Chains A and B, each alone.
Chain A
């Protein structure tokens, strides 16, 4: 016993190191599952506040630029609405078809913290449970898809963006019904991979990729990117292709969270099936 104590005392420096290092590694491997990261995440109050202040300063300097962009978008939208209404009237469509678009609501949010240089990136936005945000909701901006809400506190939420290998998105090639799964593999932030595309699918370089609407996070048709190159595997009936993303993740500022009115109903139904 005495020898043991002496041994420990002699090597206490080394044991302290072992203890702290294993503590870090436990944190690393236990908390990396993003749902468990609530304690560490920047959705917690103090960090959320700090990042809001910083965003207030940096946001101020980008005001003019953002304004021009918004004005441009606004006029573009007005033009599109006008032409859409025109063609709807021409086609003689009833109220019913227009209703389908009403199933979704956008909640405006600002990115107060963003990372793109890490392997697993996260971003924090300034809306939370009290603004109607729930875990699993989709996030996009005017360019295209951004990510999915992972955890939310009362006033802040952490979003897992496309730039995180832990998440993948169900996508289709616009105009066809070929479903693939979009996943980022680290490295270049402009490109992600679209995988599990069936052999027989018709698609080519330059085709647009949009969300499929099969998950509850996104409605069908949110823009994702353009097919940049195709990789054919000779021994497999599935292909994968590199997709150039529409969203520029380095300069995310305004995003919208997509809330689905019938989300609860749909989730309940799907849960019933699982049981």
Chain B
């Protein structure tokens, strides 16, 4: 139990630093990989839904404070944190849920990636829609969502191979 807690705390710190110190500074043609959602993806299925929501909100808020975007990441992360239990339940069978930490190995390739892709797409769509709220350019929005999602997914794919 303590080992699991330490492992996830370490993952939290490392991915968070990677996000704000490295990735947020990169710039490939309007597109930013947002791998910090991987923190939320990895939380054990046994973590209660209330905790997932609260921690998700705090994770988004921390990113916000560092990116000078009050509330934007928090809103998007809270949104996927709310949908996460339903998505998880949808893609795995009942018996597995008890102990499962969502990973490619434990869930199987296709269910895991269905789960990851839905979370990443929902999160990025919510985030970039909020960003362009007062300022709507549908083509740019689409480029940002698809491009960023592809980069985030690529990075998550690499993390899964670790």
Chain A interface (Cβ within 8 Å of chain B)? 12-13, 16-17, 20-21, 23-32, 37, 40-42, 47, 54, 114-120, 122, 158, 165, 185-187, 250
Interface residue? B54 (CB, 8 A): yes
Q: Tell me, rounded to whole Å, the shortest Cβ–Cβ distance linking B48 to chain A.
A: 9
A118 to B130, CA, bound (A): 12
A119 touches B79 (CB 8 A): no
Which residues from chain B contact A27 at a C-beta distance below 8 Å?
64, 70-71, 74
Given contacts A25-B75, A116-B27, A186-B137, contact A17 B53 (CB under 8 A): yes
B80 → chain A, closest Cβ, in Å? 11
Neighbouring A residues of B24 by C-beta, 8 Å: 115
With known contacts A12-B50, A13-B49, A16-B54, A158–B68 Cβ distance under 8 A: yes
Q: Are B78 and A20 in contact (CB under 8 A)?
A: yes
Question: Does any Cβ of A come within 8 Å of B145's Cβ?
Answer: no
Asked whether B82 is an interface residue with its Cβ less than 8 Å from the other chain, the reply is yes
Of B54, B57, B70, most A-chain CB atoms within 10 Å: B70
- Residues on the B chain within 8 Å of A24, using CB: 57, 60-61, 71-72, 74-75, 78
CA distance A90 to B144 in the complex (A): 57
Chain A nearest CB: distance from B121 CB in Å? Answer: 19
CB distance from A250 to the nearest CB of B (A): 6
In the bound complex, CA of A158 to CA of B60 (Å): 22
**A119-B70 CB under 8 A given contacts A16-B53, A24-B57:** no
| A187 closest partner in B (C-beta) | B140
A residues less than 8 Å from B31 (CB atoms): 117
Please report the total number of B residues contacting A with Cβ < 8 Å: 34
**Quick check: A122 and B137 within 8 Å, CB to CB?**
no
B14 within 8 A of A: no
Chain A residues with CB under 8 A of B32: 117
Contact B68 A28 (CB under 8 A): no
14 new A-B contacts, CB < 8 A, other than A16-B53, A115-B67, are: A12-B50, A16-B50, A17-B78, A20-B54, A26-B71, A27-B64, A28-B70, A29-B71, A31-B71, A37-B70, A47-B66, A165-B135, A186-B132, A187-B137
CB atoms of A28 and B75 under 8 A apart: yes
Q: A10–B67 Cα gap in the complex (Å)? A: 36
Of the candidates A20, A26, A185, A187, the one whose C-beta lies within 8 Å of that of B57 is A20
12 A-B residue pairs with CB within 8 Å: A17-B78, A20-B57, A25-B71, A27-B71, A28-B74, A30-B70, A37-B68, A40-B69, A47-B66, A114-B25, A118-B69, A186-B140
Please give, as numbers and ranges, the residues of chain B lying within 8 Å of A41 by CB-CB distance: 68
Question: Measured between alpha carbons, how far is A184 from B66 in the docked complex, in Å?
Answer: 23
Contacts of A12 in B (CB 8 A): 50
Once the chains bind, are A32 and B70 in contact (CB under 8 Å)? yes
Residues of B within 8 Å of A32, CB to CB, are: 70
- A186: chain B residues at CB < 8 Å are 132, 135, 137, 140
Interface residue ranges of B51-97 to A (CB < 8 Å): 53-54, 57, 60-61, 64-72, 74-75, 78-79, 82
